[in-house]
Amino acid sequence: MDRGRALQPAPRAGTKQALLVSMLKRHGGASVRELVQEMGWKANTVHAALSTLRTSGWRITVEQAARERRYRITPE
């Protein structure tokens, strides 16, 4: 089975991963700066979490908006 097309289980409510996924599912997604502020993580930790989501099968797109990149979970 193609990992990119697998249905993803919803993260447990109230976890940092659930917060991360909800921020990435917003219409405009989220920038690293926004994720750092909301999660209380360093930028390298945010990038590692995004990488982990990708390897878990989540489809994350990156868009350039003004001077920052915005990350967003896109539907299949």
Going from N- to C-terminal start, the domains of the chain cover: 14-73
Q: Considering the domain delimited by 14-73, tell me its CATH architecture.
A: Orthogonal Bundle (1.10)
| pLDDT tens digits along 13-66 | 889 999 999 999 999 999 999 999 999 999 999 999 999 999 999 999 999 988
Task: From 33, 37, 27, 17, select the one nearest 61 (Cα to Cα).
Answer: 27
Task: From 6, 74, 10, 19, select the one nearest 46 (Cα to Cα).
Answer: 19
Task: From 32, 29, 24, 33, select the one nearest 56 (Cα to Cα).
Answer: 24
Q: Quick count: other Cβ atoms within 10 Å of Cβ 69?
A: 13
pLDDT at 76: 66
pLDDT value at 1 more than 50: no
